[in-house]
């Protein structure tokens, strides 16, 4: 489902991932490559030929793939709290920290205790009381139990976290990396490494008093940084032609 709306001078299109909300697909693919293709085709259907991409967490994985696959269309890229340079060790560290069997228990909780754990991941400032179980169960039913099978398939299909994943390809767009200082999902060290890899075409903003969801914890500062980046005049950047892209090599 596409939801076009306006924010100042920006025309924004927000959409559900396939198999979430009212979106669906008969295609069996669940990789971020397939997600990127779906978003691109949606925008083509809406007659949007050039655009900027803002992706947070999983959306950042999709956004990075779009920038690489469609450099003629993606003008700028915002990656928020999204370690596109993650490794299998990223999941292992999270599992050790929270003493779970696998990362899906953390990212797709199935009980009230899992919701409390997810709150620690999302928010730096925690409530000064234990959240009642009935509230946790409501959150679980609304955010995690709807299309649960399909959400687990998205996690399993993510290629970036596979041991045999190819090296992360280079992109040429201007990039804003925006991170919560206390992100327990993707530590800020990933942001610094990504900034170093992308070089001068990338800006890095670390937001204080925020964890994995800075857009919810410090929304005014987050939105200000994102809009400033999107509105400013682009630097001179040379994009390779679409046919010259190798999707599996840097």
More confident residue, 153 or 244: 153
pLDDT 10s digits, 105-137: 888 999 999 999 899 889 999 888 888 999 999
Q: With contact defined as beta carbons under 8 Å apart, do 100 and 106 qualify?
A: yes
Per-residue pLDDT, 54: 95
Answer for the pair 70, 242: CB distance below 8 angstroms, yes or no.
Answer: yes
Give this prediction's pTM. Answer: 0.82
CATH class of 2-88+158-234: alpha beta
Residue owning tokens 């999983």: 58
Q: From residue 174, how far is each of 81, 121, 202 by CA, in Å?
A: 17, 28, 6
Instruction: Label residue 200 exposed, middle or buried (CB < 10 Å: 0-12, 13-18, 19+).
Output: exposed
Give pLDDT, residue 135.
93
Average pLDDT on 128-155 reads 88
Rg (CA), the chain: 18
Residue 4 has pLDDT above 50, yes or no: no
Sequence ranges of the chain with CATH classification 3.40.50.1820: 2-88+158-234
pLDDT band at 245 (very low <50, low <70, confident <90, very high): very low
Which pLDDT score, from 0 to 100, does residue 141 have? 92
Answer yes or no: is pLDDT of 236 > 60: no
Mean pLDDT of 140-157: 86
- Tell me how far CA of residue 141 lies from CA of 75, 131, 147, in angstroms: 37, 16, 10
Q: For the chain, first and last CA: distance in Å? A: 33
Exposed, middle or buried by CB within 10 Å (0-12, 13-18, 19+), for 149?
A: exposed
Please write the tens of the pLDDT for every residue from 50-71. Answer: 999 999 999 999 999 999 999 9
More confident residue, 106 or 214: 214
Question: Which of 27-41, 137-151, 228-242 has the largest mean confidence?
Answer: 137-151
- Binning pLDDT at 50, 70 and 90, where does residue 216 land? very high
Average pLDDT for the chain: 83
Mean pLDDT calculated for residue range 206-218: 95
Residue 225 has pLDDT above 60, yes or no: yes
Helix axes 32-45, 58-69, angle to 10 degrees: 70
Q: What percent of the chain has pLDDT over 70?
A: 82
| Helix residue ranges per DSSP H, the chain | 32-45, 58-69, 88-98, 104-107, 112-122, 133-139, 148-157, 188-198, 214-217, 219-231
User: Helix 148-157 to helix 32-45 angle, to the nearest 10 degrees?
Assistant: 110
Q: Can you say whether the dihedral through the CA atoms of 43, 48, 50, 51 is positive or negative?
A: negative
Confidence of residue 26 (pLDDT cuts 50, 70, 90): low
């Amino acid at each position: 489902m596409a939801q076009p709306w306006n924010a100042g001078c920006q025309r924004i299109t927000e959409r559900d991932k396939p198999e979430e909300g009212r979106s669906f697909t008969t295609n069996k693919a669940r990789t971020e490559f397939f997600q990127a293709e779906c978003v691109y085709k949606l925008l083509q259907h809406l007659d949007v030929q050039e655009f900027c991409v803002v992706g947070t967490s999983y959306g950042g994985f999709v956004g990075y793939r779009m920038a690489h696959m469609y450099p003629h269309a993606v003008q700028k890229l915002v990656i928020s709290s999204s370690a596109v340079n993650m490794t299998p060790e990223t999941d292992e560290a999270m599992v050790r920290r929270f003493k779970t069997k696998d990362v899906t228990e953390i990212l797709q909780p199935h009980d009230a205790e899992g919701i409390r754990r997810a709150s620690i991941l999302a928010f730096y400032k925690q409530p000064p009381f234990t959240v009642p179980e009935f509230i946790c169960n409501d959150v679980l039913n609304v955010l995690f139990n709807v299309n649960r099978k399909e959400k687990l398939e998205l996690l399993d299909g993510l290629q970036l976290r596979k041991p045999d994943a190819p090296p992360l390809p280079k992109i040429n767009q201007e990039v804003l990396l925006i991170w919560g200082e206390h992100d327990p999902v993707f530590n800020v060290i990933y942001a610094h490494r990504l900034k170093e890899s992308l070089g001068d075409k990338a800006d890095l903003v670390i937001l204080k008093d925020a964890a994995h969801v800075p857009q919810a914890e410090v929304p005014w500062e987050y939105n200000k940084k994102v809009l400033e980046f999107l509105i400013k005049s682009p630097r001179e950047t040379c994009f390779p032609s679409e046919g010259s892209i190798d999707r599996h090599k840097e």
